[in-house]
Copies of this chain bind each other. A is one copy, B any other.
Amino acid sequence: MQSNSEYFPPPPVEGVAGGGTGYGWLDSGARRIDIMQRQPTSDLVHVWTMPSTANVGQQEHPRPLEHISMLAARNEKESVQLALRPKVTWSGGGIAGRVQVNCTELRSDSHVLEVGKCVNIFRVVPMLGVPDALVPLELTQGRAVLHPGETLPLWISVYVPSSQPPGIYNGEIIIDALRSDAICLQTNGTFVNKQDIRNKVQDLLDKMDAFDYNSLSEMVEGLRDVKAGLGNLEELFVVLSNQLGTMSMESEDHAFALRVKLSVTVWDFVLPITPSLPAVFGVSETVIEDRFHLEHRSSAWYDALDMHYQWLLRYRISPYFCRWGYNMRVLTYTCPWPADHPKSEEYYSDPRLAVYAVPYTPALSSSVAAKETLKKELEILRTKSHWKKAYFYLWDEPLSLEHYDMIRAMSEEIRSTAPDARVLTTYYCGPSDYSYAPGSFEAFVKVPNILRPHTQIFCTSEWVLGTREELVNDIISELQPENNEEWWTYVCMGPTDPHPNWHLGMRGTQHRAVMWRVWKEGGTGFLYWGVNCYEKALSPGAEVRFRRGLPPGDGTLFYPGQFFDRNLREPVASLRLERLLSGLQDYEYLKAYASQFGRPAALALLEKTGLYLGPDRYTHDHGPIDLVRTEVHHYLRTDR
């Protein structure tokens, strides 16, 4: 059917002269891949690393692969990202293909960092199109689906326990493209090829064909054999029931795998168990009650709050549960159990907890019983050694003298039982009906004059400062440290871009810079209003929606696990929460450096590296972060 060969001349090389349908200028050095043959994973998938401060979207372009090298102190968590993008589609089912991602344990000469305990891998899932949620890859037995033309970022965290001996720990991340035509079942950790199963059935049939149907003894013997085979098959079916819908590796030899070296230098420094900066973070009990259908103060309710508390403690923050009352009155408490309960001692004495909120019980109902409860609580707590961690957070952002009067009344009630109690008050302006011009900086800065002695912790919004870092001096000079007055800060809706905050869509260094800012400005504590303040939902797996009127991500630093997988009972952290933790860890590095070499030297380090100069002047790249950490590591180690 083909025509004479004279019809067309041999084709020329196209596109040399440019234009038209000629190819563009990009030659990717593409190779011909025959997906019918098993191929090295590196021929099927682009893999490259990205720093933890990169927001790696689905459109991220591949880069050359570099092996991973990390520096970590003890009691520190460091993270890095691994981006995967299919070069070619090798699978059916409307996807590019599946990969199996495993990490080996990380070994030094004689010690290990264990996978699962110290090393964990997550899929970075976009929220509103922005990479944010970290879903454990172990949910899918380390398997990930790659989609055509899409980059999948993985998040790799290494936590070094305080007790871990310093040294260089080496391991590998092994990425194996799974063949769609080699579907296997995993049973008790070993891998069974599906072809094996069919062979087994065929074997049984062959055996039965070969029976001597005239010899009873031989048949009994043969049947015993067949029965054993069937039992074995049934076992495989049980596995099948659990595993159907997933695939696993063809073999464990990883002959076609792509390997990324992961090296962690653990140095001598131990990040303090008790965070140097008290950072208090609000957890809405209402949101938990609604989503998980928990009756207030039921046994399941206590379990849920306890789970959230324990989970959040890993992030170097001091959680407080909260519920809004009338006006901006707020009930806040770190421990859901009363002071005479053993759990209370466990919570308040935990060295990871820097400070705790004591419930001002009459916040929601000023009954006599509530007042009595408060008094009883205070009488117990003020005798404890952990009492120095206690604070009261009574009212959010008072705006008028009427609000100030409320705070005064509550504070007086508290201090009548516990005169040394500390009250925290948040504000971003002065009272609108006082002698200063409403909304003026002067009205704001003079707030301590009105709240003294009813507040000890003056917690102001970073938003107020704008880019004028020098206003910090004006705020601090109004305080009386000799009377235990402290300056804390907070971020919420403001400040917005380009200033540091935790909104979705901000750059990674912007998330991390919140705590660089706190260190540079010198506040002695930090408050964040909400970590789980989604829109109302009544099912654990209901879609998580950000609240209207708030910048996306504001008030939400983790997600309910059930939103990502019905079997996931733990929360799913956001990138932003991890970057907050990194910022708190950086804080410890800077503090350690400053205590050794003085604060001016630490400030010079920030300046020299370009890490953080002010709320609108901080690094956009990851480079200065590694630079600061390496310098601190170098000088602190040398100096010892």
Contact = CB atoms under 8 A, between A and B. Distances in A.
Interface of A: 1-12, 14-15, 17, 19-28, 30-35, 58-59, 85-96, 123, 125, 127-129, 135, 139-140, 147-149, 180, 183, 194, 197-198, 201-202, 204-205, 208, 211, 213-214, 216, 219-220, 223, 226-227, 230-231, 233-234, 237-238, 240-241, 244-247, 282, 284-287, 289, 293, 296-299, 302, 322-328, 330, 337-338, 340-341, 343, 359, 361, 364-365, 367, 369-370, 373, 396-397, 529-530, 533, 535-539, 541-545, 547-550, 555, 562-567
Contacts of A34: 539
Number of copies of this protein chain within its complex: 2
Contact of A535 (B26, B95, B340): B26
B548 A25 contact: yes
Contact of A89 (B8, B204, B361, B566): B566
Nearest to A531: B21
Nearest to A93: B140
Contact of A21 (B8, B93, B286, B538): B286
Contacts of A565: 89, 91-95
A542 B33 contact: yes
A246 B244 CA distance: 8
A125 B580 CA distance: 34
A564 B89 contact: yes
Nearest to A547: B24
Contacts of A86: 543
A127 B140 contact: no
Chain A to chain B: the 8 pairs with minimum beta-carbon distance, closest first: A89-B541, A24-B547, A9-B365, A32-B538, A33-B539, A21-B284, A24-B548, A20-B324
17 contacts: A9-B361, A11-B364, A14-B324, A24-B548, A31-B539, A32-B539, A86-B543, A87-B542, A89-B563, A180-B245, A183-B245, A201-B237, A202-B234, A208-B226, A213-B223, A219-B223, A245-B246
Given A1-B302, A216-B216, A23 B543 contact: no
Nearest to A127: B149
B17 A327 contact: yes
Chain B CB within 10 Å — which of A8, A299, A367, A536 has the most? Answer: A8
A501 to B, nearest CB: 17
Nearest to A359: B8
Contacts of A148: 125, 543-544, 563-564
Interface centre among A12, A241, A245, by most B CB within 10 Å? A245
Contacts of A396: 19-20
Contacts of A89: 541-542, 562-566
Contact of A536 (B28, B135, B341, B343): B28
Given A11-B286, A565-B93, A208 B231 contact: no
Contacts of A296: 8, 10-11
Contact of A183 (B140, B241, B364): B241
A109 to B, nearest CB: 37
Contacts of A20: 322, 324, 328, 330, 396, 529
A6 B373 contact: yes
Given A296-B10, A373-B7, A537-B30, A21 B543 contact: no
B4 A338 contact: yes
Contact of A244 (B91, B96, B247, B323): B247
Contacts of A287: 21
Contact of A567 (B92, B125, B216, B220): B92
A322 B21 contact: yes
Contacts of A22: 324
Contacts of A8: 296-297, 359, 361, 364
A413 B26 CA distance: 37
A149 B541 CA distance: 11
